[in-house]
Structure 1
């Protein structure tokens, strides 16, 4: 069976601390909205913190009803809303399309309430981080600052549109569409992407869950063209943002952090760059911390004490940002521009991110170590160039080391990837054990010359930490569509991280051409991978050694 329902996620009971309103929009849809007000309203009018979510405003999963208590204690009104077409809100269940206007209409309603001082801060995580960007894009003058968390401005570009000639198509995105955006309910479902083509799986999901407008459009009209998906109209945040933003990312969030860090770099390139701040943690998408790996009692969704600690820490940072930029309360100590966590060490700060670094080059070698792996050497290889190869078989792709759902809680799952080194379709390069700690911060860079059959291919790279006992955990990922017409030279930027490779550990680099089922498999032909009717094996070769041989560069820092 391609799809099986595990749990139907219906709306949970509202908090007794909230009063629910059904706010009308300009086109007649009503949006279910909880308003939390501090108990003593005899003082000045209130600023509001506003969140819009598709995951049920009243659920323990979002924890918004628990966060509300904290924000009220800090003197804010807290407003949470089910987005259009989800849970208690009416309208079409369709992501991205209506969020800019719906945010504007709700903020306008907020400012008209007797308790409102006309000042609003917007925040949220994942899709409701996107809705924070949509609120910013709405241009409502009451919105004074935003904290979009674990998200990106162009989240929808991969989620509901596939530019398969530019980006490696994501099956995990379609997985989310089916579970979240079919109707007012949510679904936890087991979806077997190996059972059939993606289009047929979506068709069968319609029989089980009901027709999904977004998934049907994505695997219908949108896979035949390469147009960029823009839910903002002429108000894309890249060009219209004029309020302070705290960019909040987590290193171990390969689904959204890469695009979120691209946002950060874009905004820091603009004239109003000083409106933007960064907070990046050694955590996964669900905010589970690297330092808590192996301790399930620290998972906030499973443990009430862990949830309260997370709320105190994380909502405290959000409230501090809004105190400064919504309520204009200047802190005693000026805010640092970039605050980022160095894995296995702790929090660092800098006037810019990435901080100053010294690039260290590791050369990919054809020489094997005494334990049978290709060497990753911290020195130039001057011998004659040779090649190493692997064969991509689209009928037997390299499997992802974790299931599709674990993409969003990568550190809670924290896969041991040691077995991947035994595959013939994965090239593995490994350093000797480090004699001292090695700290880096930024994007690892892979440079190589790549030759392959066919007009295009997918290239995946993975940087890993190999512990003394052989346990192998991911540090950073990279992925790209490689077009042969662009020539053999490839420069692949891996995802940002700040990490300490500890003394006695090894760095490992793996190169491959598939990562299924997180990403759809390249057919090995020139066909669109979503609808390819023919699949062919393809040999891939990289040049090792000599002048310009393959290398990995890491931005080393001193702490």
Structure 2
């Protein structure tokens, strides 16, 4: 058949097939008889599903609570079934209030997340609230919204939002007794501290856990001016979406490589779109401790607006994220004469571990679940005393700090703020020695190369890293042989050296550069063999460490170049400890100039804003640590004897 004749035939065949398809009988035409109940009409999803409540031991409510400016905040309330006259426990969060009840269980203790399980015994109404602009709440989200004032010209902040929320709860939750406690960790601890600036009369007790108090001095964003650049993921996770944003995408598995290839932290951030983020633009414009940071420092604000609410300032001894906030807030209030209603608690924990199990931190194992024991024996009874009037097993001391060596809680009736400590110098000595006697003289040098910064963990260091929680107890032998790390060590101890308080690094150093960082680590060196736990033989356990950016040696607010080749003093506080170096152990002090990629690299050339240092600014520098006539470098230790008793 010719093509011309074939085409009409194909068209006719297609029409025939099409007609046949439309004419086919419905599927199942030959099946058994169809009854009305078999016929599908409408959606299989009901207009309003209600879960039967017969076996459920609580009532869950989701409400929108109006604030004074009309913005409504999404709030989840879990009320034990049959509740009458119960107190309320409030947590305000940017981390999705509905996520605090992750399990679909008829039993409240099984429905809530780990941090609330011990509270879910039927004695407390649990309340979680999304802060403004996050998840189910209306309004604009601002990263740790500043208090009303020069940085916040509006008429609302997280202090007023807490006040309005508590006011609504006591007026509308009829099952309550009209009393509220507040709790929360990290950002949620910050919301507790904000509520304390002007507390509602119904707020009877509070526990900020690992709270963000001063993001420049030593919490999430900076430590004494050195940027914690791995936290840049938090910027995108929190501020790119109303719900959960994504972290910064990675080209390489090892973050050491990712940040090194990017150059400066600012180059890394802006290559990933951060200029779109208002928070980043404000943040990046203020690398020094200027009014932007000073006016948000909550330890100062809490002293200016002290409350009478009984408050437990709680954090971990090895808190890898917010090791600064709780202890500095407590110290500021104590020094200002407000110690009567403020208590300090420090456990053997990583960040927010108080809300999880506490059997261990890294290689350090405890004789029990320290977090569960503390929650059940101390924290909850203390809250219930103020919320329900139940008697306390014993009064909460001024300070309650875990002793990791004796593996017990120590109670203190007169714990001294750092400024009131008596300090004993532990001097750097010749031949990499360390001792309490004055040094004879000398110095030691190393070359700090920004192209080869000292890692804070053994490589590779992936973004999602289980070692992040416990990096502060990482064995430091992995850097001890690096030529850019100085390790000074005492002879084997013949008697215990007990340290209670905040060690102070006091370095006298010169550098060939015009800027530089100083990392100081106080380390417990275990004996070479350790029968109690053979894996700990020779372990170099960090007890306290921090970093200091040299440009701030004179003023945190007004940085200045370091005069090249001139000795300068760098004095800064290390995190608080309660530790006894044992006979048979040695004490080590390590000094280095980088802790990467946790902290951004110092170019070692003075530039106005290190966030935007150019590749040509990064230069090697020879750093010399003095321990003689030009300066007796030391770590000043709060050595004590008989200052505590078993708690």
Once structures 1 and 2 are overlaid, which stretch shifts more, 358-367 or 521-530? 358-367
Return closer, same or farther for 1:92/1:141 CA change in 2, 3 Å cut-off.
same
Return closer, same or farther for 1:408/1:64 CA change in 2, 3 Å cut-off.
farther
1:235 to partner: Cα distance: 9.8
1:264 to partner: Cα distance: 1.6
Query: Given that residues 389 and 541 in structure 1 are in contact (C-alpha distance below 8 angstroms), is that contact kept between their aligned partners in structure 2?
Result: yes
Are 2:129 and 1:81 equivalent residues in the alignment?
yes
1:203 is aligned to 270
Q: Deviations over 1:37-96 (max 9, x none)?
A: 12232x4x2321110122233447999545545324262211112222333334334321
Given the alignment, which residue of 102, 109, 116 partners 2:168? 109
1:19 is aligned to 61
2:584 is aligned to 504
Cα distance in 1 for residues equivalent to 2:194 and 2:585: 43
Local SS of the residue matching 2:635: strand
Given the alignment, which residue of 429, 432, 443 partners 2:502? 443
1:312 to partner: Cα distance: 6.1
Cα distance in 2 for residues equivalent to 1:558 and 1:225: 37
Cα distance in 2 for residues equivalent to 1:282 and 1:392: 33
Return closer, same or farther for 1:503/1:157 CA change in 2, 3 Å cut-off.
closer
The TM-score, its normalising length taken from structure 1, stands at 0.82
Q: Deviations over 1:512-535 (max 9, x none)?
A: 121122211111122121111222
1:128 to partner: Cα distance: 0.4
The TM-score, its normalising length taken from structure 2, stands at 0.72
Query: Given that residues 31 and 81 in structure 1 are in contact (C-alpha distance below 8 angstroms), is that contact kept between their aligned partners in structure 2?
Result: yes
Query: Given that residues 446 and 553 in structure 1 are in contact (C-alpha distance below 8 angstroms), is that contact kept between their aligned partners in structure 2?
Result: yes
1:292 is aligned to 360
1:478 to partner: Cα distance: 2.4
Cα distance in 1 for residues equivalent to 2:266 and 2:302: 32
Number of equivalenced pairs: 524
Are 2:596 and 1:516 equivalent residues in the alignment?
yes
Given the alignment, which residue of 434, 441, 445 partners 1:376? 434
Given the alignment, which residue of 365, 387, 393 partners 2:429? 365
Q: Deviations over 1:250-297 (max 9, x none)?
A: 110143122322212111111222121111112111427886245799
Question: For the aligned residues, what is the CA RMSD?
Answer: 3.7
Query: Given that residues 127 and 151 in structure 1 are in contact (C-alpha distance below 8 angstroms), is that contact kept between their aligned partners in structure 2?
Result: yes
Larger % of strand: which? 1
Given the alignment, which residue of 420, 423, 445 partners 2:479? 420
Cα distance in 2 for residues equivalent to 1:247 and 1:415: 26
Q: Deviations over 1:317-356 (max 9, x none)?
A: 3322222334444525332111111112111101022499
Given the alignment, which residue of 324, 328, 347 partners 2:409? 347
Cα distance in 2 for residues equivalent to 1:495 and 1:312: 25
Return closer, same or farther for 1:550/1:94 CA change in 2, 3 Å cut-off.
same
Query: Given that residues 525 and 536 in structure 1 are in contact (C-alpha distance below 8 angstroms), is that contact kept between their aligned partners in structure 2?
Result: yes
Q: Deviations over 1:398-436 (max 9, x none)?
A: 221265766995438842220211112211111222234
Return closer, same or farther for 1:449/1:216 CA change in 2, 3 Å cut-off.
same
Cα distance in 1 for residues equivalent to 2:71 and 2:219: 24
Query: Given that residues 103 and 138 in structure 1 are in contact (C-alpha distance below 8 angstroms), is that contact kept between their aligned partners in structure 2?
Result: no
Return closer, same or farther for 1:516/1:96 CA change in 2, 3 Å cut-off.
same
Given the alignment, which residue of 158, 168, 179 partners 2:226? 168
1:390 is aligned to 446
1:10 is aligned to none
Q: Which runs of 5+ in 2 are unaligned?
A: 1-56, 103-110, 146-156, 529-536, 555-566, 643-647
Local SS of the residue matching 1:241: coil
Q: Deviations over 1:373-417 (max 9, x none)?
A: x11124333x3x222112222232222126576699543884222
1:325 is aligned to 386
1:119 is aligned to 179
2:335 is aligned to 269
Q: Which runs of 5+ in 1 are unaligned?
A: 1-14, 299-304, 368-373
Cα distance in 1 for residues equivalent to 2:491 and 2:217: 40
